[in-house]
C-alpha cells in the first residue's frame, strides 16, 4: 500500500496535464505575440514621427534660395530655429538641423551634427528624396532624417542636403506606453483564457472524479457494473473494460465461494466415515485387515475427490491464460489410454483406440489436455459394464479436432441433462464410485480452450445402447 501511495503522489493528475498542455502553449504564443506587436508598434511610431521629421526638413527647404550666378551661386537660408518649435511635440524632445550647399559647405544649423551616412539608399517610402536612420549626437540617441532638396534659380541650380535630428525621449515614452498597454491587454486575454480553460477542464474531468468517487465509495464485495450511459464517449471504453474486468472478478469470486462450499460439504462425508472407521477399528468391531481395507478405500476416495476439486479450481486459471503452448493431442490420448489400461483390463472391456498417424496440434497446457482426456475415458470406463465395448477415436479436419469416447453404459436421463456439467450432478446409478466432478472438469477445460463438449445417447430401436462423449477443440494455427 505504501508503494502504491508513493506512485499515486508522483504521477501527474489528468487536470494538471490538461492545464499544462493547454496553457503553456497559450503563454508561449501570447509572449511571442506581445513581442511582435510591440515591435510593430515601434515601427508604426517611427513611421508617424518620421513624418514630423520630414515636415521639418521640408519646412527648411522652403526657406532656401540661391545668391550669385553660375558656379559662384551659393545656397542661403533665412530660417530661424524658432520656426522649428512647432514641430517639437513637447519639452521632452529637441530638434537639431543642418543645411549644406551644393559643395557640402555649411549654410545654417548645427555645424557639429554628424554628416549623412554614405551611400544613401536609392528607394524611399516617401515621395521625397529622404532617408531615415538612428544615430547619436552629443551623447544622445537621435533619429536622423536626410533630405536631398533641389534648389534652382534662373541662372543656376543644384542639390542641397538638409539634415534634421530629433531626440528619442518622446518616442521612447510612446514605446513604453505601447508596451504597457499591450501587456495589459495580453494579461487580460491570458486571464480570460486561464479562466475558460480551468472551467472547461474542471467540467470535462468531472465524470472522471465522479467515477473515482463511485469506485472509492463501493464496498470491497460490490462488483456490480458501473453505469456507462452518462459517461462521456472517451470514458465509455474505460468503463466497459472496467465492467468486464469486474465481471471476471465476480465470476472468479463466485467460483471460489462455490469451491469452498463444495469442498467443505463433500470432504465432510469421507472424513466422518474415516473417523467412524478408525473408532470402529480401535474398539475391535471388525477384523484389523478388514478395517485397514475400509480405511484405505475411504482415503482413496477422499484423495480422488480432493485432487479433482483442485483440478476444477485450477481450470479457472486457464480462462485468463492467453499464451498456451502447442500440444500434440494424439500423443496425450495415447499416453492416457496406456495409463488407464489396467482399469480397462480389470473390467475385461472390448477396447478400441483409433488415432491418426500424424500430429493433431492444439493450444493447451499438457496437464489440461491430459486431465480432459483422462476424465472422459475414466468416466466411460466406470459406466461401461464388464465385457462390453469401449471405443476412443480422434479425428481432425481443416479447423478442428474431435475426440469421441463411446461407452456401452446406461446413457444420460433427461433430468440429468439439464444440470449435466454442474459439480456433483451425477445420478446415483451413474456414480459407480465416482465423485461427480469429472464432467464439470471436462466442461471447464473445454470452454477455457475455446472448444465444445457434447454428450449424446446412442440409441437403437428406441433403446439406449450407450453414450457418445465428443470434445471439439480448434486446431493451433501453423
CATH number of the domain bearing residue 242: 1.10.287
Residue 305 shares a structural domain with residue 340: no
The phi-psi region of residue 184 (left if phi > 0; otherwise alpha if psi is between -120 and 50; otherwise beta) is: alpha
For the beta carbon of residue 161, count every other beta carbon within 10 angstroms.
20
Boundary of a domain, candidates 319, 352, 382: 319
Looking from the CA of 298 toward its CB, the CA atoms found within 13 Å total 19
- Dihedrals φ, ψ of 270, to 5°? -65, -30
- Whether residue 378 contacts residue 438, with contact meaning beta carbons closer than 8 Å, is answered with yes
Residue 376 shares a structural domain with residue 421: yes
Residue 337 shares a structural domain with residue 457: yes
- Dihedrals φ, ψ of 233, to 5°? -60, -35
The Cα 451–Cα 362 span in angstroms is 11
Please report whether residue 102 resides in a domain.
yes
Please report whether residue 51 resides in a domain.
yes
Residue 427 shares a structural domain with residue 406: yes
Please report whether residue 280 resides in a domain.
yes
Name the nearest CA neighbour of 75 among 84, 65, 85: 65
Residue 351 shares a structural domain with residue 430: yes
Considering Cα of 52, then 55, then 61, then 62, what sign does the dihedral take? Answer: negative
Residue 338 shares a structural domain with residue 419: yes
Number of helices (H), then strands (E), belonging to the chain: the values are 12, 14
Q: Which helix (H) or strand (E) holds 34?
A: helix 14-61
Residues in CB range of 124: below 8 A, 6 or more apart: 130, 131
Residue 259 shares a structural domain with residue 346: no
Boundary of a domain, candidates 319, 340, 364: 319
Instruction: Note the pLDDT tens digit of each residue in 394-415.
Output: 999 889 999 999 999 888 877 7
Instruction: Note the pLDDT tens digit of each residue in 37-88.
Output: 778 877 877 888 888 888 888 877 777 777 777 666 677 776 655 555 555 5
- Any idea which of 220-229, 245-254, 265-274, 337-346 has the lowest mean pLDDT? 265-274
Residue 334 shares a structural domain with residue 445: yes
User: How many structural domains is the chain composed of?
Assistant: 3
CA angle, 157 as apex, 155 and 158 as ends, to 5°?
155
Boundary of a domain, candidates 319, 343, 365: 319
Residue 442 shares a structural domain with residue 427: yes
The Cα 257–Cα 267 span in angstroms is 15
Please report whether residue 224 resides in a domain.
no
Is residue 27 pLDDT above 70, yes or no?
Answer: yes
Please report whether residue 10 resides in a domain.
no
Residue-range definition of the domain harbouring residue 279: 236-319
- Cα 71 → chain centroid: 88
- Dihedrals φ, ψ of 109, to 5°? 100, -155
404, three cell numbers:
469421441
Please report whether residue 2 resides in a domain.
no
CATH of the domain at 350: 3.30.565.10
Residue 42 shares a structural domain with residue 167: yes
CATH of the domain at 119: 3.30.450
Residue 76: per-residue pLDDT: 75
Instruction: Note the pLDDT tens digit of each residue in 237-271.
Output: 888 888 888 888 887 777 677 767 666 666 776 78
Amino acid at each position: 500500500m505504501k508503494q502504491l501511495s508513493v506512485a499515486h503522489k508522483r504521477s501527474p493528475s489528468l487536470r494538471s496535464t490538461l492545464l499544462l498542455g493547454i496553457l503553456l502553449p497559450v503563454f508561449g504564443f501570447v509572449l511571442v505575440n506581445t513581442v511582435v506587436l510591440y515591435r510593430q508598434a515601434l515601427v508604426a511610431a517611427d513611421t508617424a514621427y518620421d513624418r514630423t521629421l520630414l515636415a521639418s526638413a521640408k519646412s527648411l527647404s522652403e526657406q532656401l534660395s540661391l545668391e550669385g550666378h553660375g558656379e559662384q551661386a551659393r545656397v542661403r537660408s533665412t530660417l530661424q530655429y524658432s520656426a522649428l518649435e512647432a514641430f517639437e511635440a513637447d519639452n521632452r524632445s529637441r530638434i537639431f538641423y543642418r543645411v549644406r550647399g551644393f559643395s557640402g559647405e555649411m549654410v545654417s544649423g548645427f555645424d557639429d551634427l554628424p554628416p549623412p551616412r554614405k551611400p544613401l539608399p536609392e528607394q524611399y517610402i516617401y515621395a521625397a528624396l529622404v532617408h531615415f536612420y538612428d544615430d547619436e549626437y552629443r551623447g544622445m540617441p537621435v533619429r536622423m532624417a536626410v533630405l536631398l532638396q533641389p534648389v534652382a534659380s534662373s541662372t543656376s541650380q543644384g542639390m542641397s542636403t538638409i539634415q534634421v535630428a530629433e531626440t528619442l525621449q518622446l518616442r521612447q515614452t510612446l514605446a513604453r506606453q505601447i508596451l504597457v498597454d499591450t501587456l495589459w491587454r495580453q494579461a487580460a486575454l491570458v486571464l480570460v483564457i486561464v479562466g475558460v480553460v480551468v472551467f472547461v477542464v474542471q467540467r470535462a474531468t468531472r465524470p472522471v472524479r465522479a467515477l473515482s468517487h463511485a469506485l472509492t465509495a463501493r464496498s470491497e464485495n460490490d462488483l456490480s457494473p458501473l453505469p456507462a450511459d452518462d459517461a462521456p464517449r472517451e470514458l465509455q471504453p474505460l468503463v466497459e473494460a472496467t465492467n468486464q474486468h469486474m465481471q471476471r472478478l465476480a465470476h472468479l469470486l463466485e467460483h471460489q465461494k462455490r469451491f469452498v462450499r463444495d469442498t467443505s460439504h463433500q470432504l465432510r462425508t469421507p472424513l466422518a466415515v474415516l473417523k467412524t472407521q478408525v473408532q470402529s477399528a480401535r474398539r475391535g468391531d471388525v477384523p484389523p485387515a478388514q478395517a485397514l481395507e475400509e480405511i484405505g478405500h475411504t482415503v482413496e476416495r477422499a484423495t480422488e475427490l480432493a485432487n479433482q476439486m483442485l483440478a476444477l479450481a485450477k481450470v479457472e486459471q486457464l480462462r485468463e491464460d492467453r499464451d498456451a503452448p502447442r500440444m500434440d493431442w494424439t500423443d496425450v490420448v495415447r499416453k492416457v489410454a496406456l495409463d488407464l489400461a489396467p482399469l480397462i483390463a480389470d473390467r475385461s472391456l472390448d477396447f478400441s483406440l483409433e488415432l491418426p498417424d500424424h500430429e493433431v496440434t492444439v493450444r493447451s497446457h499438457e496437464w489440461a489436455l491430459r486431465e480432459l482426456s483422462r476424465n472422459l475415458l475414466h468416466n466411460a470406463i466406470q459406466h461401461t459394464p464388464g465385457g462390453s465395448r469401449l471405443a476412443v477415436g480422434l479425428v481432425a479436419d481443416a479447423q478442428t479436432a474431435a475426440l469421441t469416447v463411446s461407452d456401452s453404459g446406461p446413457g444420460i436421463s433427461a433430468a440429468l441433462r439439464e444440470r449435466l456439467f454442474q459439480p456433483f450432478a451425477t445420478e446415483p446409478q451413474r456414480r459407480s464410485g465416482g465423485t461427480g466432478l469429472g464432467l464439470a472438469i471436462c466442461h471447464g477445460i473445454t470452454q477455457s480452450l475455446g472448444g465444445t463438449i457434447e454428450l449424446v445417447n446412442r440409441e437403437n430401436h428406441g433403446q439406449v445402447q450407450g453414450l457418445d462423449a465428443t470434445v471439439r477443440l480448434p486446431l493451433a494455427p501453423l
